[in-house]
Amino acid sequence: MSAIAAQPDAPLAASWWKRNQLQLAPWLFLAPGIFAFAVYVMIPIVQSVSLSFYEWDGLTPDAKWVGFGNYTELWTDPDFWTSLRNNVAWLVMYLLAVPAGLAVALFLNQNVTGIRVYKSLFFFPFVISQVVVGLMFRWFYAPNFGLLSGVIKTLTGSNIAILADDRYATYGIIAAGLWPQIAYCMILYLTGLNNINSEQVEAARMDGARGWKLLWNIILPQLAPATFIAVVVTVIGALRSFDLVSIMTKGGPYGSTRVLSYYMYEKALSEYGFRMGYGAAIAVVLFLIMMVFITYFILQMLRQERDA
């Protein structure tokens, strides 16, 4: 009976689908992606924010509400401020990758035999895992037998253990991080340079523009999209720095190379870490810092979208 009753509905359903297809189709296509992203990214952010108001050791089943307790503790925690200061150092120093990448790109932007191979080999460091980069630089820096410390010793006569000295350790790690990051910026700029409007450049040359002036007035404006992406990935990379700190110093010597991302992990999950709520509070601070940049980037993209 129901089969018969359903008969007249079928074309109706089809036409209903047809009428609403354009409204419904995007949601059907989006559903799996949104679901996965919500479960693993969006909801966890909310949970972390909420967890930051609790004291929880990760072992016992129940957490204790402490309000803003974790945040007030952060305020008086010298390790937190050290981490934050190092994050600022990372951010500032890491941005050197942008001009450095541009410089390497300009150096390699020629048409000579074998240049493609050179470009690939210069890009090489970016492909390698940061764990491997960290191990390489640890070896490079190691006192007594590392290559760099060997050079320093022949130059100055004294043996400097870069990663064990709180004056240099953070910069030593940042230098290791700059290596792949410069490669990344380089490739962005090489692509950008490839697409430069050559007529405009030649016209400027006719007008007598040379060197810096040409670079600044004609080339850089055309490279703006590459610069934007380079800055975005570099800022995000700087704030996300975890792997290198973990591999090269574990935050030491005596916590002087900690950054927020590592300090958070240390407090919540590492050998001596049992403070999930406190860790979450650190993560929230890092998240808010990043949100400032993310918002700025998105506003930029929004402008581009509107222009397009």
Partner 1 sequence: MRFTSLSGLALGLALSSTAAFAGEIVLNSDQSDPAPKKAMEELIANFQAANPGITVKWNNFDHEGYKSAINNFLKANPPDVAAWYAGNRMAPQVKAGLFEDVTDVWEKNGLNDQLKSAAPSMTIDGKKWGVPYTYYQWGIYYRPDVFKANGVNVPKNWAELVAACAKLKAAGIAPFAIGSSQKWPTGGWFDYMDLRVNGYQFHMDLTGGKVAWTDPKVKAVFDKWAELVKPGYYIENAAALDWQDAIPQFASGKAAMYLMGNFAVAPMMKAGLKEDQLDFMQFPEITAGIPMAEDAPTDTFHIPSGAKNKDDAKKFLAFVASADAQTKLNATLGQLPVNSGSAKPDDKFLKAGFAMLSSAAGLAQFFDRDAPAEMASAGMDGFQEFMVHPDHQDAILARLEAVRAKAYK
Partner 2 sequence: MFPMAIQKQAPWVGIVYQLMLPVALILWLFPLIGVAVTSVRPESDLAAGNYFGWPSRFAGFENYGAVFTQSPMGQFILNSFKITIPTVIGAVGLSCLSGFALATYKFKANLWLFFLFVAGNFVPFQILMVPVRQLSLNMNVYDSILGLVLFHTAFQTGFCTLFMRNFIKGLPFALIESARVEGVSEFRIFWHIVLPLMRPAIAALSVLIFTFVWNDYFWATVMVQGQHAMPVTAGLKALNGQYVAAWHLISAASIIAALPPVLMFFLMQRHFIAGLTLGATKG
Residues that bind partner 1 (CB under 8 A): 39, 43, 47, 50-51, 54, 56-63, 73, 76, 78, 142-144, 159, 161, 163-166, 249-250, 252-255, 266, 269-275
- Residue 161 found at the interface with partner 2 (CB under 8 A): no
Footprint on residues 112-131 left by partner 2 (CB under 8 A)? 112, 114-115, 118, 120-125, 127-131
Nearer to partner 2, 256 or 278 (CB): 278
- Residue 287 found at the interface with partner 2 (CB under 8 A): yes
Q: Which does 173 bind (CB under 5 to 8 A by kind): partner 2, partner 1, none?
A: none
Cβ neighbors of 159 (< 8 A, separation 6 or more) are 143, 144, 149, 152, 153
Nearer to partner 2, 2 or 157 (CB): 157
Phi, psi angle pair for 53, to nearest 5°? -100, 10
Q: Do 99 and 159 contact (CB within 8 A), yes or no?
A: no
Footprint on residues 42-71 left by partner 2 (CB under 8 A)? 42-45, 47-48, 51, 58
Q: Which does 286 bind (CB under 5 to 8 A by kind): partner 1, partner 2, none?
A: partner 2
What dihedral angle (degrees, nearest 10) is formed by the CA atoms of 171, 254, 236, 193? 20
Q: Do 155 and 68 contact (CB within 8 A), yes or no?
A: no
Shortest Å, Cβ 63 to partner 1: 4
Dist. CA 215–CA 210, nearest whole Å: 8
Q: Do 264 and 79 contact (CB within 8 A), yes or no?
A: no
Shortest Å, Cβ 253 to partner 1: 4
- Residue 145 found at the interface with partner 2 (CB under 8 A): yes
Q: Do 98 and 181 contact (CB within 8 A), yes or no?
A: no
